[in-house]
Every structure is written in C-alpha cells, then in structure tokens.
C-alpha cells in the first residue's frame, strides 16, 4: 500500500478515539476520553474547536440532527450547534468496574456500543450492546474484556468486532434489517508486534482496517482474516481510523498517550495526534442514527 501519513492535528490527546467524518458539516469529529472532550476539525487541519462534556465521551455516531454520543455509562444525543446534551438511556449502570468503549451506528440504524473492564487485569465482564433510536438497550454478546473494532462491509451484511485484550477479531453474518448476528467466525488472533486490534473501519472493497494500538500501524485484513498490508504511522498507539474528506479518500486516525511508555513516545513524538493518510482505498458514508 502507498501513502505517506501527515499530522492533521498536533495535539497530545490522552485517549483520542472514535474519529467520525460528518459529510454535511464537512468536519472530522473525535473524542479525547479522559479529558471528557469532543473535538472537530476540517479535513485540512483548520477550524479546530472542542467542547467539554459532563461525562467522558467514548464513541460517536451521526444522528439526524446532531451526534449520538456514548459516555462512560450512558448514551446521549448532542448538538454541536446548540450544545444540547440529552440522555437517551443508561447502559451497565450497576457495574462499577466497566465503562462504555468503542461504538458506531450500524446498517440497521441503531447505535452499537461495547463496554470494557476498566481495571488493569481486564476481566471478561464487558458486553456488546445495540441501542435503538427509542432508547432500548439490547445485550448482543458478553464475556468480553475490551470491546472494540466494530465495522460493517458496504453491503451491510458482514460485521466485524474485536476484543483488544482477546486479542482477536471476529466476523459475523449481519442482517441490516433486524440487527441479527449469526455464524460467528474467529478470523484473527493477534499479538503486540502485529498490533492488538483497537478501533476499525471498512473500505469500499470490504477490507477491514484495524488500528494496531501496540504496533504503531494500521493493519488491512481480508474478510477471511488474511493480512494483506500494513501502514506504519508516526504515532506509537493508533486507536481507530475512519474514511472521510472528498470522496471518502482519506483515512483519519486517532491515537493515545495514556499508558504509552516514554521510550515509544520518544521514538514517535507525534503520539497523541490525529493523522491523515491517502492509501488509494476509499470508504463509504457513515450510517445515521434515526433518533
């Protein structure tokens, strides 16, 4: 794969996550979880602004008039124009060791979000949830340590999901009308050198791009789990990629600094930044939450 990564936004995010391209606003949105911030920036790195929320935002999705935002224990609807921040539902409220983590809107128009065990031992107490526009939370999968890597192929019929501490990637057959998941298949089990699977996205050809958070690179997989290429990045700990910009031809990648050793940061001092790269692959528009 070709392409040279450039620094789009040189910020030292603690836990930069959940990049989301909004084609109507022509902005890249992303969060810094531990600073409780949502950020927005244009595709050329200008017009950067941020908002501080009353709870840690962990994942974003497009909604009809604003964004749907997963926070540590709840799902909210948020308007970047007015600042309105309205609770839709609570999730895993009684599990003190867990918080919500990776999420995005699926082909069924629902918001899919997983949780994670927030203690160093990372026990398998987390789950994957489907949130309807009416605010109903349905548990779809449990026994997870750190739910991550949600992405769908362009036809909406294949879903990918990972556990960063598994560390594995699974593929499911997906019904875009009902949200039913069937035929679970383990397609990859990874290591630190290849890159434990963090957030992910799919391109127009159905390849799965996984942020290798321990390896400083993006890994591109076939649907059967075959690794077909990797892109080395100028950040030590990439967390998630999304396609955006003109014709969805740019991969935007967030990264984190929390928990990254000084030696790794010294080797890649842009760690914490948002990176942009054109590889020749293209993505598709994100799905919209119909609330």
Task: List active site positions.
Answer: 198
At 247, is the secondary structure helix, strand, or coil?
Answer: helix
Residue 170 marked ligand-binding: no
Residue 93 marked ligand-binding: no
Going by DSSP bridges, is the β-strand pair 57-63/288-289 parallel, antiparallel, or unpaired? parallel
57 and 15 in contact (C-beta within 8 Å)? no
Handedness of CA 92, 94, 95, 96 (dihedral sign): positive
For the chain, the residue count is 291
Residue 17 marked ligand-binding: yes
179 and 106 in contact (C-beta within 8 Å)? yes
Assigned token pair, 214:
């321990």
| End-to-end CA separation in angstroms for the chain | 39
- What are the DSSP E strand ranges found in 36-157? 37-41, 49-52, 57-63, 67-71, 74-78, 85-90, 98-105, 111-117, 126-131, 137-144, 147-152
As a whole number of angstroms, the distance between CA 262 and CA 205 comes to: 38
| 45 phi, psi to nearest 5 deg | 90, 0
Residue 148 marked ligand-binding: yes
- What are the DSSP E strand ranges found in 14-56? 16-22, 27-32, 37-41, 49-52
Residue 173 marked ligand-binding: no
CA distances from 190 to 39, 54, 165, 196, 246 (A): 31, 36, 10, 6, 33
As a whole number of angstroms, the distance between CA 111 and CA 107 comes to: 9
Q: Which residues does the annotation place in the binding site for substrate?
A: 99, 101
Q: Which residues does the annotation place in the binding site for a divalent metal cation?
A: 17, 148, 198
Q: Which residues does the annotation place in the binding site?
A: 17, 99, 101, 148, 198
């Amino acid at each position: 794969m070709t392409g040279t990564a450039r620094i789009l936004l040189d910020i030292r995010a603690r836990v930069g996550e959940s990049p989301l391209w909004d084609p109507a606003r022509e902005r890249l949105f992303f969060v810094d979880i531990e600073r409780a911030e949502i950020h927005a920036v244009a595709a050329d790195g200008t017009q950067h602004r941020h908002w501080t929320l009353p709870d840690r935002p962990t994942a974003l999705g497009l909604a009809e008039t604003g964004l749907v935002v997963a926070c540590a224990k709840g799902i909210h609807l948020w308007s970047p124009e007015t600042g309105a921040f309205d609770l839709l539902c609570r999730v895993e409220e009684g599990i003190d060791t867990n918080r919500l983590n990776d999420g995005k809107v699926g082909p069924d128009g629902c918001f899919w979000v997983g949780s994670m065990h927030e203690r160093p031992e990372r026990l398998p107490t987390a789950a994957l949830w489907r949130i309807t526009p009416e605010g109903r939370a349905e548990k779809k999968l449990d026994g997870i340590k750190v739910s991550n890597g949600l992405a769908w192929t362009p036809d909406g019929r294949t879903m990918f999901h990972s556990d960063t501490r598994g560390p594995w990637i699974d593929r499911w057959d997906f019904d875009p009308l009902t949200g039913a998941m069937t035929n679970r298949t383990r397609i990859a089990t990874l290591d630190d050198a290849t890159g434990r699977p963090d957030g992910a996205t799919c391109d127009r050809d159905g390849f799965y791009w996984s942020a290798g958070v321990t390896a400083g690179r993006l890994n591109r997989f076939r649907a059967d789990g075959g690794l077909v290429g990797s892109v080395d990045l100028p950040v030590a700990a990439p967390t998630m990629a999304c396609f955006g910009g003109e014709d969805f031809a740019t991969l935007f990648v967030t990264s984190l600094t929390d928990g990254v050793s000084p030696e790794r940061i010294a080797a890649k001092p842009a760690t914490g930044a948002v990176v942009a790269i054109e590889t020749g692959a293209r993505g598709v528009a994100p799905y919209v939450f119909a609330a």
